[in-house]
A = this chain, B = another copy of it.
């Protein structure tokens, strides 16, 4: 098996049967040693973060697959902190699709003139392009289509699927008394069928979960959700 990509929080290996293996690392995004799911840089290393992320991802993606929501997830190996996934191509150089239930983070920094911090948002979807050099700028559906990153039809699928998946995650968190503030999803096209797939992961590393006013750290989230 061949290492094909070294990411911020995962290494990617190509398997001989055409699948890929994602190895979850203990590195998490943040700045100056403080975890921030919206950050662009690896801010710190938390022992056990990789396995916790994998276990949560396996939990959510198995359920999504069962519900007929297409994901790249095939199976997981908790001993090695690895996940086997279907091959997929990303849109352009990769997109982040954010679903917001509360006005916090970069949304608040941009639109603070129109919303209060923590105000409820109704599963509001927005897209940013993955571009560390340009601080992941937000992008409109029209711009995505015009730049050839995806079509307006694909955008609508992406948006509807993001709402569906995010509401499912929010409902799972609610069962444990937690509130989902926002979540960041990634999608790609199935390398064989071109179908739009949920890729990457769903874990504490790409969402903000709260219990009342208390932010729940990624490791703690995994413990609460899988207890």
Interface residues of A (CB under 8 A from B): 92-93, 109-115, 121-122, 124-126, 129, 131, 133-134, 137-143, 146-149
Contacts and interface: CB of A to CB of B under 8 A. Distances in A.
A154 to B, nearest CB: 16
B139 A110 contact: yes
A134 B109 contact: yes
Given A114-B148, A140-B141, A141-B142, 4 more contacts: A110-B134, A111-B129, A111-B134, A114-B147
B134 A146 contact: no
A141 B143 contact: no
A113 B138 contact: no
* Residue picked from A93, A109, A121, A138, most chain B C-beta under 10 Å: A138
A61 B149 CA distance: 37
Contacts of A113: 92-93, 129, 131, 133-134
